Chain A
C-alpha cells in the first residue's frame, strides 16, 4: 500500500523535474517544478516527517515558486528564450550532467551500513544519540506532537549551528537589499 503511494509520487516528482527542463515557456516550467516540490512533500509525509512536508509546501510551493512565477510574469518572457540551445549550450549541459552523474555515483556507493560505520568511527562533534535517543522521534510523532520532535534537537543540541545558519540567511538578505537599493 505504502510503496504504491511512494511510486505514484516518485514518478510524479521525476516527471515534473524532467518536464521542467523540457518546457519552452518559463511559466510552464515553474508549474512543473511546483508539481515536483509537491510530490517531494508527499514523500516526506510518507517517511513520517509531516512537519518537513508541511514546510516544504509552505516555503517552496507557497512562497519561493510563487516568487518565481511572479518574476516570470513581470518580465513576461516570450517564446524566444532559446539562447541555451546552441552547440555551446549543449556542451555545457553535457559537462554539468557528467559532473552530477559522478556525484550521484559517489552517493550510490554509500550504503546505509557504510554510512553508519563512518559516523561511528569519525570524530564526533556532537553526540548524535543524545539528540536522537533511540525511537524518540517515532514515539513523539506517535504522540501527535510533530513539532517537538524537530524542535528539541534543533534548539537544544544543535542550537549554535542553527543560529549560525540563520546569520547566513541574514547575510543573503542584507546582500539582496544592498544590491537592489541604490541609496540606503
Chain B
C-alpha cells in the first residue's frame, strides 16, 4: 500500500466512525425530540424524569428494550422474522454515508506512525464517507431496498394485521418511488450531474434549487413522507385499523430496530431535501465556503445541520398536525396527481432550458435559474390554485357540502348565510 492510499484509508475510517456514531446517537435523540415536540404541540410536558430535562430518556428506553423478553409468534417463519428488522435497519444506515455534511476541507499531512508506516494526504478532503459518482441514484436505489424489511416483517409474522401492513407498505413505497424518481429529473437537467457535490456546487453558483424547481421540491417532499411511512402516510402501521401494522408482533430490540430505521430514514430524507433543494452545506451569498479553510468548513457544516434539522422538525410538525390519509386517497394522490405533475414538469423544465439556451441565447447559469424561477412561480400558482381542486391541500375532506362553523357550534340553531368557509 502506498502512503497516499493509507492516508485516504485513515481518513475514511475516521469519517465512518464519526458519521455512524453521530447518526446513531442523533437518531436516539430524535425519538426524544419527537416526544417533546408532540408534547409541546399538545400542551403537555413530555418525558422529563430521566436525566436533565429528560435527556437520558433514549438511554432508558434502549436499556428497557434490551432487557425485555423477545417473543416469537406461533407458526412464524423464524429466520425471516429475525432477518426483517435488520433488512430495514441496514439500508437506512447505509444512506448516511453518501450525503456531504460540510464543505471540503483542505488537509495536508505527512507522518510516519511506527510499524504502520507513512500516511500522506494533500489537497481537499470531501466531507462525506463515500463520494459516490452516482449520487442521488444511490440513495434512491438503497432506500428502495428498505421495503424488504417491512414486507418480510409483515409476511413472516404470520398475522393478518402484519400482512396487511406489509402489503400496504409495499404498494405505497413502490408507487411513491416512481414520483420521487421523476421529481429528481429536473434537478439532473439543471445541474447536469447526479453526484451530490456537483449539485451543491451548481446551487452555490446560481440559486438554491427550491426556487427554480419548486414543484420538484414539493413532489419530492410529499414522496419522502410516503417513503418513510410517516404521517400523513403511515398507512402500513395505522394503529386504528391495523394495531401497529407490520411490526405488531415484534417486541424488545427487534421492534427498536424498526424504530431506529424509521428515524434514520427521516434524517436521510431531511438531509436529501436540504442537499438537493436548499444548497446542502452552501453558505448563502458567498463562495468563500469552498476555499477549504477550517472555519468555513465548520460554518458550512452548521448550515447543513440547521437546514437538515429544520426539515426533521418539519416532518415531526406535520406528523402531529395532519390526520391520516385514506388508502385510496393515498394511491390517487401518488398516481393521479404527483406522477402526472412530475412528468409534465419535466417537459416544461426541459423545454424552458432548451428555449433559454437555443432561442433566447442565455448562457449565464444564474440568469437561467432566475428565468426558471419565474416559470416555476407561474406553474406553482397554476397547480395549487387551479388544478388542485382539493386533492392535496384539503386531502381528506369529503366531497360534499362543507359544514358551516355556526352549525357545528349550535347544531339546533339553523343556518345563517354569509359565513361559508372559503374553499
Q: Given that A66-B174, A70-B167 are contacting pairs, would A50 and B141 also be in contact in the complex, using a CB cutoff of 8 Å?
A: no
Answer yes or no: A57 CB below 8 A from chain B CBs: yes
Smallest distance from the beta carbon of A51 to chain B beta carbons, Å?
6
**Which residues in chain B, 138-197, are within 8 Å of chain A measured between CB atoms?**
138, 140-142, 144-145, 147-148, 151-152, 154-155, 163, 166-167, 170-171, 173-174, 177, 181, 188, 192-195, 197
Binary contact track A130-171/B, C-beta < 8 Å → 1, others 0: 000000000001001111100000000000000000000000
Q: Is A54 in contact with B170, judged by CB distance below 8 angstroms?
A: no
Answer yes or no: B125 CB below 8 A from chain A CBs: no
The dominant DSSP class at the A interface is helix
Residue of A27, A62, A69, A144 ringed by the most chain B CB atoms within 10 A: A62
Q: Given that A62-B177, A146-B194 are contacting pairs, would A73 and B167 also be in contact in the complex, using a CB cutoff of 8 Å?
A: yes
Which of A31, A63, A144 is B198 in contact with, Cβ under 8 Å? Answer: A144
Q: Is B137 in contact with A54, judged by CB distance below 8 angstroms?
A: yes
Binary contact track B189-211/A, C-beta < 8 Å → 1, others 0: 00011110110000000000000
Task: Report which A residues bind B (CB closer than 8 A).
Answer: 25, 27-28, 31, 34, 50-51, 53-55, 57-58, 61-63, 66-67, 69-70, 73-74, 141, 144-148
Q: Is B167 in contact with A50, judged by CB distance below 8 angstroms?
A: no
Which of B133, B144, B145, B181 is A146 in contact with, Cβ under 8 Å? Answer: B133
Closest 9 pairs between A and B when the two form their complex, measured CB to CB: A62-B144, A57-B141, A54-B137, A58-B141, A54-B134, A146-B133, A50-B134, A144-B133, A70-B170
Answer yes or no: B132 CB below 8 A from chain A CBs: yes
* Cα A58 to Cα B171 with chains together (Å): 16
Contacts of B137 in A (CB 8 A): 51, 54-55, 58
Count of chain A to chain B residue pairs whose CB atoms are closer than 8 Å in the complex: 89
Which of A50, A57, A145, A148 is B145 in contact with, Cβ under 8 Å? Answer: A57
Q: Is B174 in contact with A63, judged by CB distance below 8 angstroms?
A: yes
* Cα A14 to Cα B171 with chains together (Å): 30
Task: Report which B residues bind A (CB closer than 8 A).
Answer: 77, 80, 132-134, 137-138, 140-142, 144-145, 147-148, 151-152, 154-155, 163, 166-167, 170-171, 173-174, 177, 181, 188, 192-195, 197-198
Which of B144, B147, B170 is A58 in contact with, Cβ under 8 Å? Answer: B144
* Cα A167 to Cα B145 with chains together (Å): 29
Q: Is B194 in contact with A147, judged by CB distance below 8 angstroms?
A: yes
Contacts of A27 in B (CB 8 A): 77, 80, 152, 155
* Cα A141 to Cα B134 with chains together (Å): 10
Contacts of A70 in B (CB 8 A): 151, 167, 170-171, 174
A-B contact pairs, 6 of them (CB 8 A): A54-B137, A54-B140, A61-B141, A66-B170, A66-B173, A67-B174
Q: Given that A50-B134, A62-B144 are contacting pairs, would A74 and B167 also be in contact in the complex, using a CB cutoff of 8 Å?
A: yes
